[in-house]
Amino acid sequence: MRTLRFLLKKEFRQIFRDKAIVALIFFMPCIQLIVMPLAADYEVRNVNLAVVDHDKSPYSQKLISKVIASGYFRLQGYNSSFHEAFKLIESDKTDLILEIPQGFERNLIREDKQRLFVAVNAINGTKANLGGSYLSSIIGAFNADMRMQLVQQPRYSQFPVIDIVASNWFNPVLNYKVFIVPGILAILVTMVGGFLSALNIVKEKEIGTIEQINVTPIKKHIFILGKLIPFWVLAIIIFTIGLILARVIYGIAPVGSLLTLYLFIAVYLLTVLGFGLLVSTLCDTQQQAMFIMFFFMMVFILLGGLFTSIDSMPDWAKFITRFNPVRYMIEVMRMIILKGSGLKDVLPHLAAVSAMAVVLNGWAILNYKKTN
């Protein structure tokens, strides 16, 4: 125990003596947590729109102003022919073309029906998709308005109508930040913990200090624990800072129990650090360790459900995510912070992460050889 205490003392001394690293460890995640949610946002605004109005009637004017007034679109062209408007798409000045045919007003009133044409530049799939559906829903609303004015509604509708009203739970105003901040916090803690631990033992190998350690009677598990605990403590501190930032800046306070959240992060960090230490024992240089960590971090993040839903992934990808600790962390963060899930709800996640922690740390201890 005395040896372990001294190992820890030594590790902390080394970490805090490198002022640049300390700054990086604490400031980098804070800045990322402040900047990233603002930029990484799926809400599509400022969709560029060109209108080809062949009708030039009060109705078509009304429709156009309704579209612009929604705030999602920016009118980039008001052209007389589709051909002209298409040039704007080609030069990337606009994303959408709305073509209003001649006789739009007349046909809408007289024949109760009219067709509009919407052309979408689908190079940016998300923007095209959302822009198109925003436009459809605005046109739909316009249609309903017009009918209210034109048609005297009978007391009861002739046709049975099922009206669907959706109510959004856990994130009532569909604020994207509420969704993304807990996920980003999970990623940041993972990155700091993973990279620090992965580079640590390798650094001792590179500098040669491991030689001196290896001829001492230090037990392997004590040595690994001495490497694990300092980063575990650091990551917990960063996590706490992140939670405070989320509360102060984004107003996101965990609905569920903090105790459950910390219990989970404590176990989860053992997994991440164990993985880092395993990489560290496998590699000979910091460069190797860095690249391996980079590879896995990319996979973990992209298959972690931070940006894209895991449910919509193909089956093989879904299978891979089962071995991705980050996936469990992001899910649990959202469950506890947004939904208020209790310990019972996250037990399966906790079990999966614990199993990984045991395997990875055990492997790291076995793989750390004092003799070669």
Partner 1 sequence: MEAVVVQNMTKTYGKEKTLAVDNISFSVAKGELFGLIGPDGAGKTSIFRILTTLLLADSGTASVDGFDVVKDFKSIRNTVGYMPVKFSLYQDLTIEENLSFFATVFGTTIEANYDLIKDIYVQIEPFKKRRAGKLSGGMKQKLALCCALIHKPTTLFLDEPTTGVDPVSRKEFWEMLRRLKEQNITIIVSTPYMDEASLCDRIALMQGGKILSIDTPDDIVKAYREKLYAIKANEMYPLLKVLENYPGTLNSYAFGEYAHATFKDQMKNMEEFERFLAEKQLTGVEIKSIEATIEDSFIKLLH
Contact residues for partner 1, defined by CB under 8 A: 2-3, 6-7, 10, 13-14, 17-18, 207-218, 370-372
Taking residue 104's Cβ as centre, other Cβ atoms within 10 Å add up to 20
| Least distance CB 207 / partner 1 (angstroms) | 7
Contact present, 206 and 286 (Cβ < 8 Å): yes
| Least distance CB 176 / partner 1 (angstroms) | 43
| Least distance CB 212 / partner 1 (angstroms) | 5
Nearer to partner 1, 17 or 83 (CB): 17
Nearer to partner 1, 18 or 84 (CB): 18
Contact present, 139 and 108 (Cβ < 8 Å): no
| Least distance CB 14 / partner 1 (angstroms) | 5
Closest residue by Cα to residue 209 from 11, 2, 4, 3: 11
- φ/ψ of 101, rounded to 5, equals -75, 165
| Least distance CB 129 / partner 1 (angstroms) | 53
Contact present, 305 and 321 (Cβ < 8 Å): yes
Q: What is the C-alpha to C-alpha distance for residues 163 and 154, in angstroms, rounded to an integer?
A: 17
| Least distance CB 269 / partner 1 (angstroms) | 25
Nearer to partner 1, 9 or 106 (CB): 9
From the number of C-beta atoms within 10 Å of its C-beta (0-12, 13-18, 19+), residue 33 rates as buried
From the number of C-beta atoms within 10 Å of its C-beta (0-12, 13-18, 19+), residue 162 rates as exposed
CA 169, 170, 174, 180 torsion-angle sign: negative
Edge-first strand listing for the sheet containing 47-53:
73-79, 47-53, 96-100, 117-120
Nearer to partner 1, 2 or 344 (CB): 2
Nearer to partner 1, 18 or 90 (CB): 18
| Least distance CB 214 / partner 1 (angstroms) | 6
From the number of C-beta atoms within 10 Å of its C-beta (0-12, 13-18, 19+), residue 116 rates as middle
Nearer to partner 1, 226 or 274 (CB): 226
Nearer to partner 1, 112 or 211 (CB): 211
User: What are the CA-CA distances from residue 253 to residues 86, 305, 350 (Å)?
Assistant: 48, 21, 22
